[in-house]
Amino acid sequence: MPLLEVKELNKSYNSEIQVLKNIEFSVGAGEFISIIGPSGAGKSTLLRCINRMVEIETGCVFFDGKDVGAQNKKDLRRLRTNIGMIFQHYNLVPRLTVIENVLHGRFGYKSTIGGVLGLFTEEEKQRAFDLLEKLGIAEQAYKRCDQLSGGQQQRVGICRALIQEPKLILCDEPIASLDPNSSKIIMDHLKQISTELGITCIVNLHQVEVAKDYAHRISGLKQGEVVFDGASPLLSQDK
Ligand code: ADP
Ligand code: ADP
Q: Which residues of the chain have pLDDT under 70?
A: 107-118, 233-239
| pTM assigned to the model | 0.90
The pLDDT assigned to 239 comes to 43
Instruction: Kindly report the protein residue whose alpha carbon is nearest to atom 18 of ligand 1.
Output: 13
What span, in angstroms and rounded, lies between the C-alpha atoms of 89 and 110?
24
End-to-end CA distance of the chain: 33
Ligand 1 atom with minimal separation from the 47 CA: 6
What span, in angstroms and rounded, lies between the C-alpha atoms of 21 and 214?
27
Ligand 1 atom with minimal separation from the 37 CA: 3
Q: What is the DSSP letter of 17?
A: -
The pLDDT assigned to 96 comes to 87
Cα(180) to centroid(ligand 1), Å:
26
ipTM beyond cut 0.90: no
The pLDDT assigned to 107 comes to 64
The pLDDT assigned to 186 comes to 98
Cα(58) to centroid(ligand 2), Å:
21
Q: What is the mean pLDDT of the chain?
A: 91
| Single-letter residue type at 32 | F
Ligand at minimal distance from the CA of 205 is 1
For residue 34, the Cα-to-chain-centroid distance in whole angstroms is 11
For the sheet with 200-205, list strands across it.
83-86, 168-172, 200-205, 32-36, 217-222, 225-231
What span, in angstroms and rounded, lies between the C-alpha atoms of 222 and 208?
14
Cα(19) to centroid(ligand 1), Å:
7
